[in-house]
């Protein structure tokens, strides 16, 4: 299944209804409720596709928002309608798991600018009825969080018990704590930073240029011209995927083993297993993701800089916060190294916030937050249990 343009953003009755993608619901915000973007544009109408799991208790105090990473979506704990694979955080979330859907009401929405039912560059521009393409306004992580706050309002929830996410999702978690401190009791930013490093911006630019160099990109108008920059998007995914792993993880899984042969072919076929793996990652990715969304979401991560938004002093972003923090990093994550997490903790200490910090020893790289990591599971469970006791969290309704 190839990603198709989302043509469902034409004005419709505001409310919750079925999204374009099976199993999701969508909230449509009309022209009277625009999303005010950092770039100065009011986006309207627009919609947010989301999933929920568990039951909201009587006093609406057990809601947990899960924020997805760059290439994630709202399908955190259900079979994905495109890939037919299990949810992307099944390891951490579900009945009896650290984010326990028997106890918490979990919400996960596709970010604005995405391509799984929330308004993005593949959606219909209400002014033309055609896909936005590069006419879609540039968005930021703060815009993503504003849209999520509007969704939470629509669901009738005043305060979130917790906000949890890793990588780009962790950036959203931190922005929630800065933008809406009175609406978040506890947050878990995992494997992230308060700003993108020059190296990360450089990696993203290589990916964007790969997409733009594909002749089928057509200046971002590929839907209108019946093409799809599959090759460029696949290369972008391959390059990015390398940054999600570690040298040790790649060596453990692949080493220098040949693919289906004992000797080199003396060609440019995928001789090595690691080459075949990356090609598979690239080719499977293009079936579920939109190339222009990749451009917009990577740019949003590049622009993220909480210190700059707080007058150059990071601690000011969290000044006076009552939110409880648990910051988690991984020793082999060179995309968002532990030094970035320590900077978050130092800023929180300077703002007198309640914060705990854990660096988990693993050779799995940045993607460790998505994998089987028992120590992380124990930390998440313990932090949420402790926050629940401090909050006086009531048991969910029968």
Is residue 167 annotated as part of the catalytic site, yes or no? Answer: yes
Q: Does the annotation mark 366 as catalytic?
A: yes
Instruction: Name the DSSP letter for residue 219.
Output: G
**Residue 109, strand partner residues:** 50
Q: Examine the residue annotation and report whether 276 is marked as an active-site residue of this protein.
A: no
Report the DSSP beta bridge partners of residue 105: 63
**Which of these is catalytic: 68, 75, 80, 366?**
366
Question: For residue 215, what is the DSSP state?
Answer: G
Catalytic entry in 8, 167, 246, 293: 167
Tell me the DSSP string of 107-172.
EEEPPTT-SSSS--TTBBPTTTSSB-GGGSPP--HHHHHHHHHHHHHHTT-S-EEEEEEETHHHHH
Contact yes or no for 239/211 (Cβ under 8 A): no
360: which strand partners? 330
Is the preceding omega at residue 323 within 30 degrees of 0, hence cis?
no
b/e 296-318 (16+ beta carbons within 10 angstroms → b): bbbbbbbbbbbbebbeeebbbbb
Q: 96 and 190 in contact (C-beta within 8 Å)?
A: no
Asked if 307 and 317 count as a contact pair (C-beta separation under 8 A), the reply is yes
In DSSP terms, 205 is beta-bridged to none
Judge residue 129's burial from the number of C-beta atoms within 10 Å of its C-beta, 0-12 exposed, 13-18 middle, 19 or more buried: exposed
| Catalytic residue of the set 271, 333, 341, 367 | 333
Return all residues near 153 (Cβ < 8 A) that are at least 6 apart.
none
Q: How far is Cα 12 from Cα 10, in angstroms, rounded to an integer?
A: 6
The set of catalytic residues is 167, 333, 366
């Amino acid at each position: 299944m190839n990603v198709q343009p989302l043509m469902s953003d034409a004005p419709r009755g505001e409310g919750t209804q079925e999204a374009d993608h099976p199993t999701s619901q969508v909230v449509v915000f009309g022209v009277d409720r625009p999303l005010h973007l950092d770039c100065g544009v009011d986006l309207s109408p627009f919609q947010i596709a989301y999933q929920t799991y568990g039951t909201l208790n009587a006093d609406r105090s057990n809601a947990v928002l899960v924020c997805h990473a760059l290439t994630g979506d709202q399908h955190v704990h259900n079979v994905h309608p495109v890939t037919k694979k299990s949810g992307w955080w099944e390891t951490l979330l579900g009945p009896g798991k650290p984010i326990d859907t028997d106890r918490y009401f979990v919400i996960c929405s596709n970010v604005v600018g995405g391509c799984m039912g929330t308004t993005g560059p593949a959606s219909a521009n209400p002014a033309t009825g055609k896909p936005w393409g590069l006419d879609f306004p540039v968005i930021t992580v703060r815009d993503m969080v504003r849209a999520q706050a509007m969704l939470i309002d629509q669901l009738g929830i005043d305060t979130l018990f917790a906000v949890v996410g890793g990588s780009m999702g962790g950036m959203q978690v931190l922005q929630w704590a800065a933008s809406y401190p009175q609406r978040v009791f506890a947050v878990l930013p995992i494997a992230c930073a308060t700003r993108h490093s020059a190296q990360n911006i450089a990696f993203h630019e290589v990916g964007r240029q790969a997409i733009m160099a594909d002749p089928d990109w057509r200046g971002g108008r590929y839907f209108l011209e019946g093409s799809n920059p599959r090759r460029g998007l696949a290369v972008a995914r391959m390059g990015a995927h390398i940054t999600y792993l570690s040298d040790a993880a790649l060596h453990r899984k692949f080493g220098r083993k040949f693919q289906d042969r004992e000797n080199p072919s003396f060609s440019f076929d995928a001789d090595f297993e690691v080459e075949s793996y990356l090609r598979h990652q690239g080719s499977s990715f293009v079936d579920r993701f939109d190339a222009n969304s990749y451009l917009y979401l990577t740019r949003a991560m590049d622009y993220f800089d909480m210190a700059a938004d707080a007058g150059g002093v990071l601690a000011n972003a969290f000044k006076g916060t009552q939110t409880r923090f648990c910051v988690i990093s991984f020793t082999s994550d060179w995309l968002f190294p532990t030094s970035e997490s320590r900077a978050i903790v130092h800023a929180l200490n300077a703002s007198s916030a309640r914060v705990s910090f854990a660096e988990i020893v693993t050779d799995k790289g940045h993607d460790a937050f998505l994998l089987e990591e028992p120590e992380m599971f124990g930390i998440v469970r313990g932090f949420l249990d402790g926050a629940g006791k401090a909050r006086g969290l009531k048991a969910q309704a029968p």
